[in-house]
A = this chain, B = another copy of it.
Amino acid sequence: MIKRAKGVTISQVAEAAGVARSSVSRAFTRPDMLSPETVTRIMKAAEALGYVPNHTARALSTGRHGNVGLIVPDIANPFFPPMIQAAQIEADRSDFCIFLGNTEENPKQEDKLVSRFAGQVEGLVLASSRLSDERIRAHAGQLPLVLINRDLDGIPRVLIDSGSGVREAVEHLARLGHGKIVYVSGPSTSWSNKQRRSAVRAAASSLEVQVETVPAVLPSYNSGRNAVGAILATGATAAIAFDDLTAQGVLAGLAEKHVSVPGDFSLIGCDDVLGAMTYPALTSVSNRSMEAGRVAVSLLLDMLQSRAIRDVRYVLETHLVVRNTTAAPR
């Protein structure tokens, strides 16, 4: 049986140091209000007793518990881990802890998590929320909220603009000499998909390159792989896929059909979640999920500090990252 340390309290430290409890409290929160000698004396006593401030008691007294929540739809989607990591680091810088919630793409679960988190966090970041506008606004009435990839007036939000990067992708292909390309689309209900598809079309038409759309339905490896037949049937010489996972599937499908990349066919992904981890290394549109996480938390902490809600709309531009899956057509 392992012995568990009991909690030594502020009172014991006070007694040991021969001061009042409030002085001990001050020594830890506002040392500048005390004379340096007493601070050191208190600290020494605290150290000797192994005193550790009780987070919960402090939270009850101050109403601030130094936690923020982060809720994502699917932690297993490689888009999110970098975001979570960045959020964590940013929170850490201000001595905040992150509560992580995973909704599994389920609005009900998301609603439940928000309620459960409220009361133990000072604020919340909702990433790619699947909730209705109404629910989000309702929650925003309960506690400070920051949105990622959701554009609601009056609620601070950080948006990743994949349009800019997709435009660069089309320009890149046009410059290489591709006259006909295909866009391998993602989920029809996805805001990102709409944004990307229309960006492809707009850029293509102004550059006089033809575009066809091939649906992949789900953003996944298998969808991409299954789409290869349809892609090649269009006679296009290049493709831009909804995301990297889809692109990776397309890449594998092309390899199976002995279509060499980038020799016979050029391919571009989106979100750049694979890094250079495919072979050949995938040209992709950068993803800013890391910055999004960092900025969202930073924004939230600002809100908490200033006790005010500013109507921030922080847009992160994306860019094309050229690697080895794009070249001039034969």
Question: Are B67 and A120 in touch, CB under 8 angstroms?
Answer: yes
A293 to chain B, nearest CB (A): 11
Q: Indicate if A48 sits at the interface (CB-CB under 8 A).
A: no
Give the nearest-CB partner of A140 in chain B. B2
**Which residue on B lies nearest to A53, using beta carbons?**
B119
Shortest beta-carbon distance, A135 to chain B, in Å?
15
Of B82, B116, B154, B277, the residue contacting A2 (CB under 8 A) is: B154
User: Contact partner of A75 among B2, B54, B81, CB < 8 A?
Assistant: B81
Closest B-chain residue to A69, C-beta based? B97
With both chains docked as a complex, state the minimum distance between the C-beta of A76 and any C-beta of chain B, in angstroms.
Answer: 4
Give Cα distance in the complex from A88 to B84, angstroms: 15
Chain B residues with Cβ under 8 A from A234's Cβ?
Answer: none
Q: Which of B52, B56, B97, B221 contacts A99 (CB 8 A)?
A: B97
A230 contacts B by Cβ under 8 Å: no
Question: Is the Cβ of A97 less than 8 Å from the Cβ of B76?
Answer: no
**Which stretch, A57-65, A183-191, A202-210, touches the partner chain B?**
A57-65
Which of B76, B88, B309 makes the CB contact (< 8 A) with A85? B76
Which residues 83-118 of A sit at the B interface, judged by CB distance below 8 A?
A: 84-85, 88, 97-102, 104, 116-118
A97 to B75, CA, bound (A): 15
Which A35-66 residues sit within 8 Å CB-CB of chain B? 52-57, 59-60, 65
Among A257-285, those with CB < 8 Å from B are 275-279, 281
Smallest CB–CB gap between A29 and chain B, Å?
Answer: 16
What separation, in Å, do the CA atoms of A308 and B76 have in the docked complex? 33
User: Can you tell how many copies of this chain the complex includes?
Assistant: 2
Segment among A12-20, A211-219, A247-255 that sits at the interface with chain B: A247-255
Identify whether the interface residues of A are mostly helix, strand, loop, or mixed.
mixed
Interchain CA distance A99-B67 in the complex, whole Å: 10
- Most-contacted residue by chain B among A76, A249, A252, A276 (CB, 10 A): A76
- A233 sits at the interface (CB 8 A): no
**Closest chain B residue to A118 by CB distance?**
B52
Give A98's nearest chain B residue, CB to CB: B100
The CA-CA distance from A25 to B75 in the complex, in Å, is 36
Given contacts A3-B141, A99-B99, A251-B279, contact A56 B67 (CB under 8 A): no
Nearest residue (CB) in B for A308 is B1
Instruction: Enumerate chain B residues within 8 angstroms of A118, measured Cβ to Cβ.
Output: 52
Q: Tell me if A195 counts as interface (CB < 8 A to partner B).
A: no
Q: Are A82 and B88 in contact (CB under 8 A)?
A: no
User: Which residue on B lies nearest to A255, using beta carbons?
Assistant: B279
Complex contact A97–B119 (CB within 8 A): no
Q: Find out whether the CB atom of B81 lies under 8 angstroms from the CB atom of A97.
A: no
Query: Which residues of the partner chain B approach A248 to less than 8 Å between Cβ atoms?
Result: 277
Q: Are A84 and B56 in contact (CB under 8 A)?
A: no
Q: Does A177 reach chain B (CB closer than 8 Å)?
A: no
A–B complex contacts, Cβ < 8 Å, 17 sampled:
A2-B140, A2-B154, A4-B141, A56-B59, A56-B60, A56-B65, A67-B120, A75-B75, A75-B84, A81-B81, A88-B100, A98-B100, A99-B99, A249-B277, A252-B276, A252-B278, A256-B279
